[in-house]
Amino acid sequence: MIHLLFTGGTIAMRPDKAAGGSVPALTGAELLKRINGIERIAPVRVEDWGPFPSSHLDLGKLWALRERVREVLNGPDAPTGVVITHGTDTLEETAYLLARTLPRAQPVVLTGAMRNADHLGWDGADNLRSAVAVAAAPESPGRGVMVAFAGAILDGLDAVKFDTSDLDAFEAGHGKQLGVVQEGRVTYMAAPPSPRFGMLPQELTARVGLFAVAAGDDGAMLDRSLGEYHGAVVIAFGEGNVPPGVAAAIGRWLAAGYPVVIASRCRRGQTATSYAYEGGATQLVAAGATLAGPRSPSQAWMELTIALSAGRPYGK
């Protein structure tokens, strides 16, 4: 049995002429009725958790979703796996949260669509069939939270959306693709990764700011936000370098006792202490900032949010 947690997203939207674009329209049960062949993969029970565009999922809703997944997996009628239909805009944040705070024993698979349910090129049916196949596959236990999208299987800690509109919108980011789904067949290309969960906050209480740096930035935005957040992630240039004014503002955050994580605006590679000039990552780290590690800015933001909510250091 696969438990389908329906949270909404483009996969269940339809165009609305009055609104001028796609809006939430279908329930989870209505979505399932539109897709042929799922019943031949595994029996599915549907839970309508909520018809949300993923940009409407705040920290309270994200933690409530995490708690619901935990309840389902630990309940008396525990399923073989859980599939979550989700909007693609913030799917990576949800996948990261679940992967970081839930054990890997049972598969939890997130998926969605880039086209609405009335589009001739709707990709929702194939993606949902693939997600159910991954959740039901005998090789999936022990792999934990994954993303199944456009035939790719990605670890929940690695999956990032890299294209705004292509059907193949997700990639493994700083990790590696785990496997593929081809004609309904699930094939893994590597053994299950080592467990990386263990952050266990009671809820997501920390407010973390995400600040993008621009050329010539004087740090004014960081200064105006000092004291409004419990920590900050700075999206820096290259390997983690910022203008002098931003470096000074970061220093003021650190001096006030607020953690600052340095991520990169680059799609590939990690931040590193290669440059020691004013504003270089070497000086930022020496002042007390932390490098993001193998995480995109959105993943670093979620990591710091979870860590501060759990009373733990970033990345520990």
Q: What are phi and psi of 237, to 5 degrees?
A: -80, 155
d(CA 252, CA 287): 10
**Strand runs labelled E in the chain:** 2-6, 13-16, 21-24, 44-48, 81-85, 108-111, 145-149, 152-155, 160-161, 170-171, 179-182, 185-188, 208-212, 231-236, 260-264, 290-291
Active site residues: 10
Handedness of CA 284, 97, 180, 13 (dihedral sign): negative
Both structure tokens of 82: 């859980």
How many angstroms from the chain centroid is the CA of residue 222?
25
DSSP 212-224: E--TT--SHHHHH
d(CA 292, CA 211): 14
SS3 164: coil
Residue 312's closest CA among 176, 218, 205? 205
DSSP state of 56: G
